[in-house]
Chains A and B, each alone.
Chain A
């Protein structure tokens, strides 16, 4: 049986979807991700779909549901690497993934998650508390 690996890096979970997922595999990934967030106390989930050449309504729904479940479990989700042709098609299909944060690539997605989950401690602290 196919399985999509979920990697843990500090308190983030990373998933790279590299296969053309059938519906059961997509549902399995959603369930496993939700379980791993709960087990590990992860604060962020990064889903890399740069290898996916289509996202249809089912996969789109899986991504949106995963993000919603993660939020309920106190974790942020960022979807990264969507191909332009996929983005064009998804919007025309009528799926705009409200509530799902996106970034162009893994690096930007990681930065977004780190700032969203308060992991930016190694950055120089610039006048915390001071307001202009």
Chain B
């Protein structure tokens, strides 16, 4: 799928989550998203970015403006080299948490986007891709 533009942001600290939220907002506006769609995408990105830091030990978020020929979209790829997730199904379950969160992050983020893909290898890291179309 053609990527019109991309930008990689580092995720190390709580302040970086705010930077990702702001970048996703700017790009969602550029992609022509409605206010509600912008808010959903920014909120989903915030949830996953926090996971990348808290559970993955930090990593990268790559924003991509994409175009499949008929529509524009925004994709954000989160990657870390953390411990990985051994039971993805369990991690996706609402209210399941290994930390001190509400356990709504992954499942909640999935509901806020059009496409959600999570892949993880124990000991190697986790990759989450979220996409929303205009």
Contacts and interface: CB of A to CB of B under 8 A. Distances in A.
Contacts of A25: 14
Nearest to B109: A93
Interface string B80-111: 00000000000000100000011011011101
B107 A94 contact: yes
A93 B17 contact: no
B36 A61 contact: no
A31 interface: no
B103 to A, nearest CB: 9
Tell me if B's interface is mostly helix, strand, loop or mixed.
Answer: helix
A123 to B, nearest CB: 38
A56 B47 CA distance: 7
Contacts of A54: 21, 39, 42-43, 46
Nearest to A53: B39
Contact of A20 (B18, B40, B108): B18
B36 A85 contact: yes
Interface residues of B, number: 28
A56 B22 CA distance: 14
Contact of A58 (B94, B101, B107): B101
B112 A22 contact: no
A102 B21 CA distance: 25
Given A56-B46, A95-B104, A24 B40 contact: no
A89 B104 CA distance: 13
Interface in A51-95: 53-58, 60-61, 83-86, 88-90, 92-95
Contacts of A56: 43, 46-47, 50
B1 interface: no
Interface of B: 13-15, 17-18, 21-22, 25, 35-36, 38-40, 42-43, 46-47, 50, 94, 101-102, 104-105, 107-109, 111-112
Interface of A: 20-25, 53-58, 60-61, 83-86, 88-90, 92-95
